[in-house]
Structure 1
Amino acid sequence: MLTELGAAGLLVLAAGLAAVAPPTCSVTGLGGECQVEATDPGSPGDQGTPPGGGGTSTGPRVCRGWSGEEIECVNGLGTWSDSRSCYMQPADPQPPFEDPVWEGRTDGVVYRCMIPQPGSSAMWTTYQWLPEALPGPSPRELAQAAVEQMEFRAGLLGMNPDADALSVVGLQTWLWIADPDEHTVGPMTRTATAGAVSVTATARLDEVVWDMGDDGAPVSCDGPGTPYDPSYGGGDSPTCGYTYDRSSAREPDEAYTVTATSRWVVEWAGGGQSGTIPMEFSRSAEVRVGEVQALVTRR
């Protein structure tokens, strides 16, 4: 027999659809991680446009708990139900028709309804009969759930001379991401599934834009850059570098603030739909730049 477990908690759902800006994460210093939620850029064709179709696209559904905290709309517990304020998915296996939940019926579907208890790992679980199967999450919602599994990080800044040394006017500074892995430079793939529908999202680093803190134009590099090795000598980086034309002596703390912004593209496909999600993450560090002058002496 199917029974209720635990004490009921009251959840209130607030749902809305809106076009929002791409998510960003700014990190200053050496530490920090970015836990992100994918959002829809809101342009037709980018998110969830059926093949061969037009239509419009809106932002993702937002679900909130009883105290207003944002919760996942789709996770391992099922899909959030607005009307029932719980996560629902078909009971597997379906209970025998003798179970009281059927109330003598032999048609329809029995769903498991799970409500997370605030501040606890406990769940309040009930089972409900419905006359027909509920529609599952859209491919776009599953794409959001897949991206929510990705733990993005703003990469550590690699520079030669490094941030603890003194860069020199006229000598190129090599630039690269110093901790390359799937979370900082990709690629990173995750899949979300609901029923028979699966959506796979793959995040790839498109470029890293370096703002060097002076009046020069930002440097756009395809990929994470090339780490410096002493065997390269004093040559220029083959992939990403910048040359200062004035020292940082007149800057606050006598240093430039260097900011590296990693720009990602997340491509997703499944359920007969596909789309892209742009994302970017930034990290900053201070760099001192000096000027070398030749001193001519007479003997």
Structure 2
Amino acid sequence: MNSLFKRKFGAGYRLIFGYVCLFMAFIGLIILLPLLIIAFFPNEWMCYKAFLVPGVGSLVIGLLMYLVLTKGVDKSQLGKHQDSVLLVSIWLSAVLIGALPFFLNQYFYPEIDSIKMNFSESFFESVSGFSAAGLTVFKNLLDGKVAYGLDTFCPHVYLFYRALTQFFGGIGLVLIVTSAVSDRYGMKLFYTEGHNDRLLPNLAKTAKVTFSIYCLIIALGSFALWLFGMDFFEALCHSISGMATGGFSTRSSGFYYFESSSYTGNGVFEYNPIGAEITTCCIMLLGATS
């Protein structure tokens, strides 16, 4: 009996580490996604190393470790209270790995002063994003000033990455992971985080529907903000931030910047403050009630 318990207990923790490694791979993908923004802002190419190194590293190491740790392990061997250990481990791995792009840039491209962040600041920004809190320690954002060849103090690739952390934090990190876990223990973990509802009986289908709804609202919100005169990149970032009910903005003064007399529009449409405010309020309400 003792031997059986030890085997099951050990297999359960192997499974926990395996799922954490699988989640590491997923975080690696999130870190790599902002590199697509460089195609639209090629003068920010020098930032790629701060995303490529931790992104590829997390993806490769995570997948390899997942395959090694879960090989021959019964996926239903999570023991009592081990779901809570998995939940805490998932959150810790998310915020620790997610802090690396903020932290590493000072070593790869130290000339950009606005992104020289020590690890505590990087960790704070990561926690704020993945928890959808929206507090920030960034010194300067998009303020229309020139710094080392960039037309902004903070490169767009970092602004988009911050928005992405809020997106995945708002949609629910655990919902994403549990969609890859066996249904029985996936639901147990889902409820452990405090959720008590699901759209569909199958958790994987629930994750897909939730993800689709979030993306649709963000797309419609971004388009509406663009029609009301906001630059499309900033419209996208604010739509994501609003849907996550967070506070990350592309501007140091937040949404107030667009109310100033210096901002007239996106070059296609004049800025309509009332329309933009109502649209953002609707996005936040939908995010808060989802």
TM-score of the two chains, using structure 1 as the length reference? 0.22
The answer to which structure has the higher helix fraction is: 2
Higher RCO (CA < 8 A, seq sep 6+): 1
TM-score of the two chains, using structure 2 as the length reference? 0.23
The answer to which structure has the higher strand fraction is: 1
